Amino acid sequence: MQFTAIQIADLIEGKIEGDPNVAVSSFGKLEEATEGQLAFLANPKYEDFLYSTKASIIIVNNSLEVKEKITATLIRVPDAYSSFAVILTAYSKMAMANLMGIQQPVFISDTAKTGENIFIGAFSYLGNNVIIGNNVKIYPQVYLGDNVVIQDNSILYPGVKIHHDCIIGKNVSIHAGTVIGGDGFGFAPQTDGSFKKVPQIGNVIVEDNVEIGSNTTIDRATIGSTIIKAGAKLDNLIQIAHNVEVGNNTAIAAQSGISGSTKIGKNVMIGGQAGIVGHLQIADGTKINAQSGVGKSIKIPNTAVTGSPAFDYTHALRSQILSRNLPALEKRIKDLEQMVERLKNENVID
């Protein structure tokens, strides 16, 4: 597929500087791109490559001031990174447009219902009363348990497993190997030291416009629903426990774990390998630094925390500075002690 600078500029509402008819057929990193490729520049530290790249078209920010001659055609936009994402999304949709029909072998229950323009890959399983919306793409080896609902325009990549009664909204992407609706970790301690399993009879609800990375697990609720709200973005290798709620447009990085019944607010950002214990409330707009351990609720919106146990980010930075200065502070104290002792010996002070 080929696209001209005019077509790209129309798509992202950009302003062209250079040849409007130059065409590209693929994408490349700015520092590696060749003729006929589209690249972008969002991070100023890569600006030097702007003057040496072979890319035919480059998307740049409106604020960029060109310092040398450039052979490529530029398309200026308010946010180059976001605009490049728009182009990649459109390209992906075009590439997926050819995925249609039902491959064999598959199992589709007689009671399952499927919409229009769908794709179901080989070795997939659709249980009783499954409902598939329009334009859904189901890649090979996907398992959908009884009563699962997949709404319009959602994509399930290879090996996704969605257990019974779970509901997936519109425009949701779930990447390879993810398990949704497995049993929550519910065990009642017994007097003899053993554990009795607590049946998990709830479900998982994933609302619209959510993206879930590969090999993430989202446990079904004990009673009620584990909920991932609209616009949330989950990275690879995340554990979401039973009855957790993740708020609108919250982003969680890889290897994080959210324990049971914790409620995460909207627009929260959680760094990689962070851990949050159960039954907490995390306020809207909270920022949790990577590898932080959150052991109590965060009730003030837009709070930033770090460390384990996690505490206020700015206080943590001050503590780190003080800890690095401890050897020097120790030497100063010893010097002062020696000075005081000398003054005592000289009868200058009592």
Rounded to 10 deg, the angle between the 313-324 and 326-345 helix axes is: 50
Residue recorded with tokens 């090979």: 140
Q: Please list, residue by residue across 306-326, b when 16 or more beta carbons sit within 10 angstroms of its beta carbon and e when fewer do.
A: bbeebbbbeebeeeeeeeeee
Length of the chain: 350
Report the DSSP pairing between strands 195-197 and 187-189. antiparallel
Can you read off the two tokens belonging to residue 306?
């770090």
User: Active site includes 315?
Assistant: no
Cα dihedral 301/304/309/315 (nearest 10): -120
Contacting residues for 344 by C-beta, under 8 A, at least 6 apart: 350
Task: Determine which one of 175, 242, 279, 315 is catalytic.
Answer: 242
- Put the strands of the sheet holding 257-258 in their side by side order: 107-108, 125-126, 143-144, 161-162, 179-182, 217-219, 239-240, 257-258, 275-276, 293-294
Catalytic residue ranges: 242
